[in-house]
């Protein structure tokens, strides 16, 4: 079978975004139309005059993927051609949490039948690792650099799945590139459900998080095992089936693998910061009933 995303794209060796895109396409199947706002996935799959996509694909603006997908969905419906076609957005976290939130909010409010996949690499990677609303507490980025006066990003990660669930979305889920089958199943389920569905896929970025390209899946798995990336599905706003974690790993193991948290192990006061991050994982474990 032809790969829905052909090789030859320019995503970095070991890119988590590439895996998330591959799984999203596997889940949605070949009867889909994809909208991508600007970001690593868009830039590296479509250097003019080439394209890696083997499904219809359109580049929206950075800020209006939700509106473009809504227009496609409406157009197909008016033409009587919607049938089993899935309209799917594949967008970065910057495009989702910050820049495209308004257009996306409108689309979810109106209830368009679409699957919105946020590929969450926890910063604006394509422009060189700037902090976004998805960047976790204490991660060092170029706009939240760790140094004498700072431990990195001072703000907690925004709870985007909850925001989308509160829009009345019938299906919201979190997934990870480290759990391929689960991610593919969730996208397939989202495509089947009528209405605006939201899936946030954790996608470690070796370049921005600073770890070896061979460890993308390992890092992703550790985020889940440490309780920092809860995996769950929400049906009509209610959490269903959060993934159980046996023998939760200390967050330190996850942090230690990545250059973006290196300062926590060298700076004075780093220990207390790690304890704060551990508290986030403990809160997750209790809230999502992981144990």
Partner 1 sequence: MKVIHAAIVKPGTTLVNKTGGWRTFMPECNYELCNGCGICETYCPDSVIVKDGDRYAPNLDYCKGCGICANVCPKDAITMILEGK
**Inter-CA distances, 140 with 130, 131, 164, 272, Å:** 9, 8, 27, 17
The residues of the shown chain that bind Mg ion, judged by CB under 5 A, are 92-94, 121, 125
Ramachandran angles phi, psi of 179, nearest 5° = -125, 80
With CB atoms as reference, the residue minimizing the distance to ligand TPP is: 92
Contacted entry of ligand TPP, partner 1, Mg ion, none for residue 38, CB cut-off 5 to 8 Å set by kind: ligand TPP
Q: Which is nearer to partner 1, 223 or 280 (CB)?
A: 223
Binding to ligand SF4, residues 43-82 (CB under 6 A)? 44
CB of 40 to ligand TPP, least distance (A): 4
Query: Cα separation of 71 and 215, whole Å?
Result: 39
Map residues 56-95 to x or -, x wherever contact with partner 1 holds by CB under 8 A.
Answer: ----------------------------------------
Q: Does 38 bind ligand SF4 (CB under 6 A)?
A: no
Nearest CA to 231 out of 220, 216, 219 is that of 220
Cis peptide before 58 (omega within 30 of 0): no
Q: Does 228 bind ligand SF4 (CB under 6 A)?
A: no
Helix-strand-coil split of the chain, %, nearest 5: 40, 20, 40
Q: Which is nearer to ligand TPP, 93 or 225 (CB)?
A: 93
Provide the 10 A C-beta neighbour count for residue 16. Answer: 30
Query: Cα separation of 65 and 74, whole Å?
Result: 14
Contacted entry of Mg ion, partner 1, ligand SF4, none for residue 208, CB cut-off 5 to 8 Å set by kind: ligand SF4
- Note the residues at the interface with ligand SF4 (CB under 6 A): 11-12, 15, 17, 40, 44, 121, 125-126, 205-208
């Amino acid at each position: 079978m032809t790969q829905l995303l052909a090789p030859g794209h320019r995503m970095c060796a070991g890119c988590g975004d590439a895996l998330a895109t591959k799984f999203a396409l596997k889940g949605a199947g070949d009867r889909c139309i994809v909208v991508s706002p600007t970001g690593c996935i868009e830039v590296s799959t479509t250097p003019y005059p080439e394209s890696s996509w083997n499904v219809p694909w359109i580049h929206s603006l950075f800020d209006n993927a939700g509106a473009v997908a809504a227009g496609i969905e409406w157009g197909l419906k008016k033409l009587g051609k919607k049938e089993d076609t899935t309209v799917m957005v594949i967008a970065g976290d910057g495009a989702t949490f910050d820049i495209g939130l308004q257009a996306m909010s409108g689309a979810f409010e109106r209830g368009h039948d679409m699957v919105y996949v946020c590929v969450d690499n926890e910063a604006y990677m394509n422009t060189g690792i700037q902090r976004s609303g998805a960047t976790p507490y204490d991660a060092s980025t170029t706009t939240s650099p760790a140094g004498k006066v700072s431990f990195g990003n001072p703000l907690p990660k925004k709870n985007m799945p909850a925001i989308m669930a509160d829009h009345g979305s019938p299906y919201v889920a979190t997934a990870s590139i480290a759990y391929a089958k689960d991610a593919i199943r969730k996208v397939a389920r989202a495509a089947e459900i009528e209405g605006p569905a939201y899936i946030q896929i954790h996608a470690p970025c070796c370049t921005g998080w600073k770890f070896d390209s061979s460890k993308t899946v390992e890092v992703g798995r550790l985020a889940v095992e440490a309780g920092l990336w809860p995996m769950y599905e929400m049906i009509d706003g209610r959490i269903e089936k959060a993934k159980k974690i046996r023998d939760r790993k200390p967050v330190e193991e996850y942090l230690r693998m990545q250059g973006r948290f290196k300062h926590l192990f060298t700076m004075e006061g780093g220990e207390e910061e790690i304890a704060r991050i551990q508290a986030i994982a403990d809160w997750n474990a209790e809230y999502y009933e992981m144990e």
